[in-house]
Each structure stands twice: as structure tokens, then as C-alpha cells.
Amino acid sequence: MGRNDPCWCGSGKKWKKCHFPEEQKPQQGDLKRLYWKRYQIILKSPEQIQKIREANQVAADILNKTIEKAVAGITTDEINAFSHQLHKDAGVKPAPLGFGHPPFPKSICTSLNEVICHGIPDQTALKDGDILNIDVSVELDGYFGDCSRMVCIGNVSADSARVVDTSYHCLMDAVHVCGPGVPIREIGEAIERCARKNRCSVVYQFVGHGVGVEFHEPGPQIPHYRNNCAIQLVPGMTFTIEPMINLGVADAVIDPADQWTARTADGKCSAQWEHTLLITEDGCEILTPWEETLPYSPPKTQ
């Protein structure tokens, strides 16, 4: 039977538009080999998924508790010390500590105001009007969880509130489109559409990443902006979506001194929320269910 022949089921459709895709679907073992060989994407086994789920739940729990310490007057170093103790109490390792080149020096990332990501905790005290991202990543028995969220300190400006709210909705719009068979490009499309609607820009120098059996897996890369990546999401994929949204220009500048801190090129505020996701047979699962503090309505489909 050719792809353009009538389908055997009697639907009247061509085979390629009816049962051909289903019958050509590779078995899970074949799909795992294909995705690793072609894309360097690790599709996880049920046993691995359970371990990854546990690691991410711990990460989300630690993040929820850490966020509560972010009040005016406290330093980001004090927040780091508090969170480090939470890691010890939970029996997990802080994944950022010692990661990369040069080695990251702290247990969490604290990105304040114009810092886009990878902010290093220090003696800076939080003050009224600040916006802060706290990023928690953990290793539990060789498996990794990763999440972040924003916190507003006291009374923030309308623009600061807008970028915080927009970044949250960018994340949730992206989560809303995820499911098996969806091209990766749809994630970036959803994020950029939301950002532009709210007069914000999307940072293009950092992307979401595979996570689970490694802190940063070789694939997939998840661009948060419009792109042409046609790789389809399939069950067993675990990755982060972490759109970094700026009030002004999209460009980031890396601090040459610490080689980690990324700031907006124009000094305007940036915001980011992050979840780790699992693609399932019928959709996706948020593995890092921190307590959501903002309302969300899914975008209307056309």
C-alpha cells in the first residue's frame, strides 16, 4: 500500500493522513535510540522518571521555603545560607555549587532587578521595590531537579510588576502548548507572543535544557523565542522551560569579573519563572509544582 492510496479502514482518507502515522510510530526502545543518536536527547525509563520526579519535588519544596526568607533588609547571602541548610536537612546536594567553569560559588542563584540569571548571592540587602529571582537546583541520588520563581519586595513599580507578571504568563503559556507530537518551536512561539503583547523582550542568549539524569543534559535545547526547531516532544522527555523576560532590550551582558552574572544591557529589570516538565503519553506533567501566586488563563486557541 502506498502513502497516497486510500486507507484500508474505509475512512476515505489517504493512508498517509489516516493510519500511516500510527502504524509507522516507532516502539519506545527504537525511539530512545533514535532520539539519542539524532538529537542527543535522553528519553527516561519509568524508574528514572520516578527518581527525577522525587528530586524535582524536593527542589520545589526548598524553593517555596527559601522564597519566604526574601524580605526587605535580608542579604542574598543570608538567603543562600538558609537555603543551603534546607538542602542539608533534605539530604540533597545543591547542584549549582561547584558547577561549571569557573565553579559557581554558591548553593542557589539570586538574580536581583537587572540581573537576568546566574546572580551570585552576596552582601546586597534587599530593599523595598526590588524584584528577585531565586533559582534552586538539587541532586538527589544522582538525579536532578530545577526550578525558579520571582518575589517582589514591598511595593514595586508598575513596570517591575509588569515584567514579573509577563514572565510568569510566558512560562505558563509555554507549558500549555506542551505535549507529545508538538514541535519544540511552539514553545518559543508561545513565549515570544506573550512577551511582545506585554511590551517586553525575550532573552535569546539562554535557553531551557534537558535535565534529570544530568544537571544540564546535551538535549533538548528549548529556545524561548521564535525559532524553527522541528524536533517533536515525545513521552519520556524531561526539560526546563525558563523564559527570561526583559523590560527593555533583549541583550544580556556577562560580568567579566565573576563570569556568571548576566545583566540586561540597558540596566532595566528582568524576570524569570522556571518549571521542569515531563512529557507524558497525553500531555505534560509539571514536576516542580511551587505554590503559584499569580492568576493564569490559558491563551485562546484560534
Q: Which CATH number, 3.30.565.10, 3.40.50.620, 3.90.230.10, 3.20.20.10, labels domain 40-286?
A: 3.90.230.10
Q: What average pLDDT does the segment 19-38 reach?
A: 73
Please write the tens of the pLDDT for every residue from 162-201.
999 999 999 999 999 999 999 999 999 999 999 999 999 9
Of 23-27, 143-147, 150-154, 156-160, the one with minimum mean pLDDT is: 23-27
Please write the tens of the pLDDT for every residue from 223-271.
999 999 999 999 999 999 999 999 999 999 999 999 999 999 999 999 9
What are the beta bridge partners of residue 140?
143
Domain boundaries, the chain: 40-286
- Report whether 157 contacts 137 (CB < 8 A): no
The edge-to-edge listing of strands for the beta sheet with 217-222 is 217-222, 208-210, 238-241, 275-279, 284-286
Side-chain half-sphere exposure of 232, counting CA atoms within 13 A? 11
Please write the tens of the pLDDT for every residue from 123-139.
999 999 999 999 999 99
Q: Residue 240 and residue 125: Cα distance in Å, rounded? A: 29
The edge-to-edge listing of strands for the beta sheet with 115-117 is 115-117, 262-264, 252-254
Can you give the pLDDT at residue 10?
A: 67
